[in-house]
Structure 1
């Protein structure tokens, strides 16, 4: 947990903002953590077929996709979906 305080002498001095970092333990079980990021963050115009194949075998695919959607990840393949596919989900869920 990270606590932030406004500088003394400011009006906001009494404001305390607490930030709790997300739980990322699920990433230790991810197949992508064992294969490297090259497949999952390809050059523009490159195929994401191999990344999607690996994601399809991954036991924590749904947690990965949920994290990407919750955190508005805009690059790479997360949970078996490309940037465009995740954008479409965000658009339709509004």
Structure 2
């Protein structure tokens, strides 16, 4: 498993959704705001009470909200997929929802394309 930038470990760069200048300057995670914050903010300690978890996740999301590479971080976590922690402003549960929606959308688009091919052939 790859580690988040807030653990100060090098991770594989994800192709940037933004301007190509970032790719020339270095991997996206070098600009991550979370590199300067406490890693514990982004990952749950064992047996964390629900209220504490929600407060911690909201604090992590506030850090993500001001990050210039939030989109790249989120895409990294969705492509891996990262099973734990707050990445790109999303919790693990929120990322599972996004991934399920993407899969459903891809399936719907595939079915629509197939229906269109059948109608054109018929």
| TM-score, normalization by structure 1 | 0.72
| TM-score, normalization by structure 2 | 0.56
| Alignment equivalent of 1:76, drawn from 85, 99, 106 | 85
After superposing on structure 2, the runs of 4+ consecutive aligned residues of structure 1 that deviate more than 6 Å are none
| Alignment equivalent of 2:37, drawn from 17, 35, 44 | 35
The structure richer in strand per residue is 1
**Distance across 2 between alignment mates of 1:90 and 1:79:** 14
CA contact (8 A) 2:13 2:29 kept: no
**Distance across 2 between alignment mates of 1:22 and 1:38:** 21
**Distance across 1 between alignment mates of 2:12 and 2:66:** 24
Q: Aligned pairs, how many? A: 74
2:83 match: secondary structure: coil
1:86 maps onto 2:95 in alignment: yes
The structure richer in helix per residue is 2
**Distance across 2 between alignment mates of 1:55 and 1:84:** 16
C-alpha offsets along residues 4-50 of structure 1, whole Å, 9 cap, x if unaligned? xxxxxxxxxxxxxxxxx832721111011111211110234312010
1:38 match: secondary structure: helix
**Distance across 2 between alignment mates of 1:91 and 1:38:** 27
